[in-house]
Amino acid sequence: RTELRSPTPARFTTRTMAAEGGSRSKYSGLAGDARGHSSWFLTRTNKEHQLTMEHPFMKTIYAKNFDRSAYVHYIAGQYLMFRELERACEPHVGSKPLSVVFDKDLLRASALERDLRAWCGGDSSAFDASVAKAAAAPQLARYMQRLSADASDAWMLLCHHFLQYNAVLSGGQFLGGIVAARAQSEGLPSGSGAEFYAFAPSCQPTHSRVQRYIDSMDSLDITEAVRDRMLACMQEVYASLLGMFDEAYALAPIQGVSYEESKASGAPTGGSDASAQKKKKGPPPPPMEPGPRSFTLAQLAEHGAGEQLLTSVLGRVYDVTAGREFFGPDGPYAMFAGNDGTYNLAVMSLKKPTLNKFEYELDGEDKECLSDWIAYFDNRYGQPLGVLADKKHSVSIKDLPRATKIPFSGLDDDDDDEPAPAAAAAQPKSKL
């Protein structure tokens, strides 16, 4: 997920809005280095996004032990959802706002249809039955009702477009590899079963395509009234998506692994050891005390590539060499290596001009987000090596609330201890 004050307190520049209501949006007409619409939406739907990332059904995909019938039900629903979304968007793609983000290479319905047919063994009757079953599911029906209601409003369709396509772009490379491996083990025809996650060369690398989408969306003039309606729409879309995950998982409640565990282990095959996957209850620990080393911003910049990769969060300098696939030159977060990424992490932004930003204002949600990211870096990369000595942030760690979760870890303050589902006992032991 992606995306103040200058040293001299200044209001954002705004333009007169041509969109509905004619009101002026705080985030319209921003300079290229300021927070945009995407950041505003992403920080305010971050909790919902984390719930989808760590849903028990998604964990079975990360573990590659997902039940075939449950996955068929899931992609049948995805097929119906994307097919209807693409039909609803078609009349609007020639004008703003959808003309700004539309790209035929993003369309997913045809790929989903081919995937579904492959997982149904090429049996047309099984395909038809899976589509009918998905269409009758209450949560998909709920989503379809919302989409139908939004079909005449291009701004509301933009909400669906923004969430759905960026979700697949963001997670597609990782999930596609997992699903493709499972498809091969299930005996599906070579190269089939995971086209949903595969994008054309024009969309590669996908993390750059996500940023281009965000830049396009940020170029739009969006009034405050429309922005607030869009946020409500996005939150309702997330609620429906989580409901669809619930329905798929209920078909075969198998123990899985978290996203972070899957990445760390190379996405293992098979099930998971329930004892190994027992969650810690309660909030993440407080931030670690940094080590004794001092760095200047110039010294930090020397570690943006090469043998050792360093990044700074709130002046806390982490060695992220172990995450080279993310922070290395071709990684999706390469921009953070050698830089302080505090502001970008707080507001969920991949805009390079706001790296090494030390004077800014954060609202409550931004501070919560930053606190969770510090918990993530502590958990994933260990004690900070030290601190930046020649730069001081306008926000200190004492200004942040206690972290409520560690992103991607499956650990958070709201988790209750859960007994492992009975189905997990029958699964082979994980490589974890």
pLDDT at 9: 25
Instruction: Please name the residue that has the structure tokens 């790209």.
Output: 103
Contacts of 299 (CB under 8 A, 6+ apart): none
Instruction: Return the H-helix or E-strand segment holding 311.
Output: strand 310-313
Q: How far is CA 6 from the centre of its chain?
A: 29
pLDDT digits (tens, 9 = 90+) for 293-316: 999 999 999 999 999 999 999 999
In contact, 252 and 151? CB cutoff 8 Å: no
pLDDT band of residue 281 (cuts 50, 70, 90) is low
Instruction: Return the H-helix or E-strand segment holding 386.
Output: strand 386-388
pLDDT digits (tens, 9 = 90+) for 369-403: 999 999 999 999 999 999 999 999 999 999 999 99
Mean pLDDT, the chain, integer = 84
pLDDT at 404: 87
pLDDT band of residue 408 (cuts 50, 70, 90) is low
Q: Is 191 helix (H, G, I), strand (E, B) or coil?
A: coil
pLDDT at 31: 32
pLDDT at 123: 97
Cα separation, 45 vs 268, whole angstroms: 30
In contact, 414 and 404? CB cutoff 8 Å: yes
Percent of the chain with pLDDT over 90: 72
Instruction: Please name the residue that has the structure tokens 């068929």.
Output: 72
**Angle, helices 68-89/224-251, rounded to nearest 10 degrees:** 150
More confident residue, 316 or 12: 316
pLDDT at 34: 57
